[in-house]
Amino acid sequence: MDETVAEFIKRTILKIPMNELTTILKAWDFLSENQLQTVNFRQRKESVVQHLIRLCEEKRASLNDAALLDIVYTQFHQHQKVWDVFQMSKGPGEDVDLFDMKQFKNAFKKILQRALKNVTVSFRETEENAIWIRIAWGTQYTKPNQYKPTYVVYYSQTPYAFKSSSTLRRNTPLLGQTFETHNSTTPLQERSLGLDINMDSRIIHENKVEKERVQRITQETFGDYSQPQLEFAQYKLETKFKSDLNGSILAEREEPLRCLIKFSSPHLLEALKSLAPAGIADAPLSPLLTCIPNKRKNYFKIRDK
């Protein structure tokens, strides 16, 4: 068993209260009943953890096995999280899809991995006809962070999916695109302590005034028409180093500091227009970004005044 997997399992077990440990391990269904009977759960937790890690090493636990343990723990403590709700709707005249769980898993993982090189996706089905999805995000250059995952709970054949609130809000639009494989999604936010999809009255539009403000500012800035297609914008920055500290090497530097920033997208202006409504950026956006159509250029040089 890989050291990173052992550390992952160790950290997860340490989070589990001792009075829940056997219940969660049985629900995990990775270690057999005979193996669990060899563990003395009345001894110190550190000793229990070491014994469990040895058993996992014997069974050569994988990263996915460790992720499933984390999902089980999160299921037991789901009410401690705040969840965003996605309500999915069909267009007029569209039929309800026949749900194929295997096809859904393959498509979901393939779309995410195609969009982002380093990402791990794990699934766990429950008796409530729900599928729990655990996503550990990386970047193009870093491995997935297993300790800051996003959880998604999807109830097949219903219009609801639940996503755990995360600091990685930039990945929310990507999840929405992934669900479009089966449905068109409309994001709704719910500050909730549960996942009972029958409680429709609890699904509310939060911060309605703020959302209306963002929409108004976005429309005032970009208009309600399609934006001109532009693939990149480039900014050259030249500035002197400023600091209240005296005697530093940079403070005595005569030459300005220079850097080059380039934004690129198949449709840059439409991408910028969607930033604030998607919650990725504050409204209004910087005039350096929104002035591109008015100035009719995409090369800018920024100097000290």
Q: Does 237 reside within a domain?
A: yes
Q: Give pTM, 2 decimals.
A: 0.58
pLDDT at 12: 96
One domain for residues 176 and 89: yes
One domain for residues 44 and 75: yes
One domain for residues 168 and 141: yes
One domain for residues 62 and 101: no
One domain for residues 66 and 152: no
Quick one: pLDDT band at residue 293, thresholds 50, 70, 90?
Answer: confident
Residues 6+ apart with CB under 8 A from 292: 230, 233, 268, 269, 298
Higher pLDDT, 279 or 46: 46
Range of the domain at 105: 83-181
One domain for residues 123 and 136: yes
Q: How far apart are CA 28 and CA 263, in angstroms?
A: 45
CATH of the domain at 117: 3.30.160
pLDDT at 168: 58
Tell me: the pLDDT tens digits for 235-280? 998 888 776 655 566 667 778 888 898 988 888 898 898 888 877 7
Q: Does 202 reside within a domain?
A: no
Quick one: pLDDT band at residue 183, thresholds 50, 70, 90?
Answer: very low
CATH of the domain at 239: 3.10.20
Q: Does 189 reside within a domain?
A: no
| Structural domain count of the chain | 3
One domain for residues 38 and 116: no
Closest CA to 286 of 233, 207, 225, 224: 233
Tell me: the pLDDT tens digits for 78-115? 888 888 777 766 555 555 454 677 888 888 888 888 77
One domain for residues 218 and 258: yes
pLDDT at 89: 60
Tell me: the pLDDT tens digits for 104-147? 888 888 888 877 778 999 999 987 778 999 999 887 788 999 99
pLDDT higher than 80, residue 172: no
Tell me: the pLDDT tens digits for 185-227? 444 443 333 333 333 343 444 456 777 888 899 888 888 888 8
pLDDT at 176: 61
Tell me: the pLDDT tens digits for 147-166? 989 999 988 777 778 888 76
Query: How open is the CA angle 266-221-282, to the nearest 5 degrees?
Result: 80
Task: Give the DSSP H or E segment for 84.
Answer: strand 83-89
